[in-house]
Amino acid sequence: MLGVVKALRVFAPALNWLGAKLDKETLVETSRIAEQLLTLQAEFNDTFAKRGWIASGAINTEAALQALALAKTQRWDEADQVLAASYPASYIRAQLGSMTKLQCFAPRMTLARLALDDYEAGRYHACVPVTLALIDGTAKDLTGAGVFRANLRVKPKESFLEIGPGIASLFTALSAPRMITSTSTIAIPFRHGIIHGTDLGYANSIVAAKAWAALLALGHYAKDFLEPPPKPGPRLMEILREAARTREELDEMEAESRDWQPRDSASLERVYASQQFDDGTPEAAVAAALKAWSGGKWLLLAQASSDAHKPGAKAQGLVSKLKSNLGPPPDRFEVTSVEESWCAGWVSVRLVRGEDAQDLRLRLLKIDETGAWPPKPKMSRRWVLHDLWPLEAIYWSSPVADGEDAG
């Protein structure tokens, strides 16, 4: 996500030329948020897993940030209240819906909904034991071992409990031995104390919300556990080298876009007056495409389009399409305006055929020798038309077009 945002910040001016309006301040803010999210999960789990909370795909980011701020001043009770409030019944119900596809949980959905009705009604004494039972049974069907049994809970690195950051610490906390009967209010859903009747002060919203959060985290990570293992990735040094190359390319492209200067209006006026186009300019690319059309050089015309440079593109198929879709070419043309950035632009042309004239505005991209846009540094570049459909859409007035007999 960070890489995409940083790249968009570099290419925002060119994308704006193409009609994709990107606000630079918004991109900067998005980048800041992405960096914050990268560290949130680890910090949250280090702080709260041993207290019965876990950050998974089901956590409310705003509540997590607020709770972390409270934790820094040791206001643990307030942090619990904030996090518990972020798990209303409506939210849990929506999250449970995504768990119905898990074979290990689907048979338990009816029971889960009944427990959720109790949670919504404030009957925490009823829903907490059921939720803990749902966790235990789901994990057992998933892995063959209950997550609350100390002798089976800790497994090798490849086990389910190591998939989700903090999940092993969470279930270690929830599995604490509770041998002495107590009526004191607790704030952690201790499975053994609650199920075996030694923790009698569990019926409160904090314990209930933590139990549901643990169940949702289990479902979130079960999806990862059930997916096929990923293929071996590149080694760390390869990743670092590729990241360094990408960063260098982005820096060079940003410098190029920053240093690029548009032609002044006087230079463009001379182009319009002379209709002489220098190589390497967007108007020269348009002129070459129109001349290829007029001369029936279909392959050259196809290669003037970005479609011909996409992965897997077949030039011959594009040629056949052009032959079918293009009408008669213009007798002559005139470039009337040019707008450009360092890697994108617009060229307006007037096409004349007989007594008819049509004005078109054509989008262009500057691609590198691999067909990539924006072009990578230190590679040869060329201007291509973004697409050829404006040419296909030309409709010349003619006896046939007017419905008259063409003879």
| pLDDT number for residue 22 | 52
Q: Identify the CATH number of the domain in which residue 251 sits.
A: 3.10.450
| pLDDT number for residue 116 | 96
Cα separation, 101 vs 94, in Å, equals 13
Q: Is 144 helix (H, G, I), strand (E, B) or coil?
A: coil
The set of residues, in sequence order, having a beta carbon less than 8 Å from that of 272 and lying 6+ positions away, is 335, 336, 337
Q: Is 365 helix (H, G, I), strand (E, B) or coil?
A: strand
Does 386 reside within a domain? yes
Same domain? For 215 and 277 the reply is no
Last residue of a domain, one of 169, 200, 226: 226
Does 400 reside within a domain? no
| pLDDT number for residue 18 | 46
Does 233 reside within a domain? no
Does 231 reside within a domain? no
The set of residues, in sequence order, having a beta carbon less than 8 Å from that of 153 and lying 6+ positions away, is 145, 146, 147, 161, 168, 171, 172, 175
Closest CA to 207 of 106, 300, 128: 128
Q: How many structural domains compose the chain? A: 2
Q: What is the pTM assigned to this prediction?
A: 0.50
pLDDT tens by residue, 135-162: 999 888 877 767 776 544 444 444 555 5
Same domain? For 211 and 254 the reply is no
Same domain? For 352 and 273 the reply is yes
| pLDDT number for residue 407 | 34
| pLDDT number for residue 154 | 41
| pLDDT number for residue 37 | 59
Same domain? For 328 and 355 the reply is yes
Same domain? For 179 and 209 the reply is yes
Cβ atoms of residues 358 and 351 within 8 Å? yes
Quote the domain boundaries for residue 329: 243-392
Q: Residues in the chain with pLDDT < 50? A: 1-2, 11, 14-15, 17-18, 151-158, 163, 398-407
| pLDDT number for residue 155 | 46
Which token pair is 305?
Answer: 């389009």
Same domain? For 203 and 327 the reply is no
Same domain? For 11 and 128 the reply is yes
Same domain? For 166 and 222 the reply is yes
Last residue of a domain, one of 176, 200, 226: 226
Does 297 reside within a domain? yes
| pLDDT number for residue 24 | 56
Last residue of a domain, one of 177, 199, 226: 226
Does 29 reside within a domain? yes
| pLDDT number for residue 17 | 46
Same domain? For 23 and 142 the reply is yes
Q: Return the bridge partners of 335, or none.
A: 349
Does 304 reside within a domain? yes
Does 283 reside within a domain? yes
Same domain? For 55 and 204 the reply is yes
Q: Is 359 helix (H, G, I), strand (E, B) or coil?
A: strand
DSSP readout, 163-201? Answer: TSTTHHHHHHHHT----S-EEEE-SS--HHHHHTTSEEE
Same domain? For 211 and 256 the reply is no
The set of residues, in sequence order, having a beta carbon less than 8 Å from that of 49 and lying 6+ positions away, is 166, 167, 169, 170, 173
Same domain? For 170 and 308 the reply is no
| pLDDT number for residue 326 | 87
